[in-house]
Amino acid sequence: HVREADKNDQIEHILGKFKLSKEYLNKVMELMLEEMHKGLDPVTHDKADIKMFPTYVRSLPDGTEKGDILALDLGGTNFRVLLINLDSGDIKVKSKVFLIPQSIMTGSGIQLFDHIAKCVAGFMNAEKLIQNNKEYPLGFTFSFPCHQKGLASAILATWTKGFDCSGVVGNDVVEMLQEAIDRRGDIRVKVLALVNDTVGTLMASAYNDQNTKIGLILGTGSNACYVENLDNVKTWDGDRNDPKQVIINMEWGAFGDNGCINFLRTEYDTEVDKTSLNPSKQIYEKMMSGMYMGEIVRLIILDLWEKELLFVGHRDHSWSTDYRQALYTKGSFYTKYVSEIETDSGVTYRHTKSVLEQMGLDRPTYDDCVIVQYVCKLVSRRAAQLAAAGLAVLLNHINAPNVTIAVDGSLYRFHPKFKKNMEKAMQMLVLPHIRYQIVLSTDGSGIGAALSAITAPGFK
Ligand code: ADP
């Protein structure tokens, strides 16, 4: 048996790299700012990891907007149709979730958009929006990588998340949706804006709080957008009239793809990346978002078990095969477990025990629980600190006296300490004269798409 003190030293040594110093975080900030400049300059844009796409969303809501707007939210297996009623600061939302059958996810693009248009028509019928023959504006949240040509024009770069409809990549998805709607002939709908989920989140929050200048997603993946001064956007090809600003979709998850943050990465990060669907892509995202956090924790626990530093009591027992099986299965440690484990604050470790037992890791000892919780804390705190470094870059760059940051995503929403850890790190990194608050933007993607439509120049 390894002596207790040695054991703790070894664990500390193995996990040491998850503790990020202020110097490391400052270095991350410096590198990210450099990448942002590269992304915004046409000369260096192609080489930039952070693409800094201009979204064509220029006007932010001021809270006086009124009207009924439709919104579509497509980004996974389910998609939602929403009717948003805005009434000078007051928002009412009606929505319905529709399933996209597998056959449509991998069928033709025409079939996909016909299916979507059919769901919109079904929703409008149910909500009695057809009788008055009025034309409804629609905002489309489409969370797939697109090259935008205008507020209502977006060329799909590639499908992700299990979608693979033929004849869409390289085409304008707004046009395809509008054509499908018009083909039906029974509904009057005009697609006025396409946004991604970060922009939706920012816009939804801006309706009630005009200081909102940053939108952040911490869910399956991570991404951010912010309001940038047009003078700084050298890649901008539109007019330079008022408002002299545009929301930039950073696609910040790809930060580090050129290896610049390798000094921070651990062997576990490398392993997560290697076994992922997109090796050597989305390096920053893989260190901090929901799709990967549980997996990082699993790999550490497995390593500690193999080094005889964890679940020691079960080593020679017949249960050890089950332990092996649970720990060796990729994806078996869900990110929601990290949240559950970190809810334990006393000495009973009720949630931690329950999670380990759900995984088939029976009868953990007190020490096992302490160590597993410690691993979760270090991994989630590092994630919060990395997100904080990104936000601090934006706050210092925007350099406005008072900024609201709108956040959405299940990791941020449900992890018990994410916000607190993020704020703690930001206190160290944000310039002292800047005030900021971080708010949860519920239902942001739908409401934000509707607001992007209603503030679009074409809206009457
Ligand atoms: P998306 O980003 O796909 O739009 P979500 O914001 O719901 O959707 O994020 C889903 C991600 O959030 C998943 O990767 C999942 O692991 C993670 N997640 C879900 N529940 C929790 C939780 N309770 N605590 C932490 N992460 C969670």
Catalytic residue among 58, 59, 143, 382: 143
User: What does the angle CA 409 – CA 450 – CA 442 come to, to the nearest 5 degrees?
Assistant: 25
Distance CA 225, CA 171 (A): 24
| Catalytic residue status for 197 | yes
Residue with CA closest to ligand 1 atom 11:
220
Distance CA 205, CA 212 (A): 6
pLDDT at 325 (0 to 100): 78
Q: What is the mean pLDDT of residues 313-341?
A: 79
H or E stretch covering 39: helix 22-40
pLDDT (tens digit per residue) in 302-315: 999 989 999 887 66
CATH numeric code, 1-55+209-429: 3.40.367.20
Query: Domains of the chain: which residue ranges?
Result: 1-55+209-429, 66-195+443-454
Residue with CA closest to ligand 1 atom 15:
290
Distance CA 422, CA 442 (A): 19
360: pLDDT confidence band, cut at 50, 70 and 90? confident
Contact 413, 385 (CB under 8 A): no
pLDDT at 75 (0 to 100): 78
Please compute Rg for the chain using Cα positions: 24
Distance CA 227, CA 218 (A): 19
Distance CA 447, CA 71 (A): 7
**Is the CB of 220 inside a 6 Å radius of any atom of ligand 1?**
yes
The percentage of residues in the chain with a pLDDT greater than 70, rounded to a whole number, is: 96
Is residue 77 pLDDT above 70, yes or no? no
pLDDT (tens digit per residue) in 94-105: 999 998 898 999
Question: 76: closest CA among 177, 178, 144?
Answer: 144
Distance CA 264, CA 382 (A): 10
Q: What is the mean pLDDT of residues 113-123?
A: 97
Rounded distance from Cα 419 to ligand 1 centre (Å): 15
Catalytic residue among 58, 80, 298, 381: 80
pLDDT (tens digit per residue) in 414-426: 999 999 999 999 9
Contact 449, 202 (CB under 8 A): no
Which atom belonging to ligand 1 lies closest to the Cα atom of 75? 4
Chain centroid, CA 230 distance in Å: 25
Is residue 392 pLDDT above 60, yes or no? yes
Pairing outcome for strands 402-408 and 189-195: unpaired
| Catalytic residue status for 350 | no
pLDDT at 25 (0 to 100): 98
pLDDT at 323 (0 to 100): 64
Record: fold of 66-195+443-454 = Nucleotidyltransferase; domain 5 (3.30.420)
pLDDT at 321 (0 to 100): 64
Strands (DSSP E) found in 196-243:
212-218, 222-229
pLDDT at 112 (0 to 100): 97
Rounded distance from Cα 409 to ligand 1 centre (Å): 6
Is residue 4 pLDDT above 90, yes or no? no
Is residue 406 pLDDT above 70, yes or no? yes
Model ipTM value? 0.99
User: For a substitution probing ligand 1, which of 220, 293, 379 has the most ligand atoms within 8 Å of its CB?
Assistant: 220
Is residue 380 pLDDT above 80, yes or no? yes
| 3-state SS, residue 356 | helix
Instruction: Work out the burial of residue 161: count CB atoms within 10 Å of its CB; fewer than 13 is exposed, 13-18 middle, 19 or more buried.
Output: middle
Question: 31: closest CA among 208, 182, 254, 181?
Answer: 254
pLDDT (tens digit per residue) in 41-63: 999 999 999 999 999 999 999 99
pLDDT at 327 (0 to 100): 85
pLDDT at 88 (0 to 100): 84
- Average pLDDT over all residues of the chain: 93
Name the least confident of 199-208, 262-271, 424-433, 437-446. Answer: 437-446
Name the least confident of 97-101, 230-234, 253-257, 351-355. Answer: 97-101
Number of neighbouring beta carbons within 10 Å of residue 204: 28
| 3-state SS, residue 295 | helix
Is residue 457 pLDDT above 80, yes or no? no
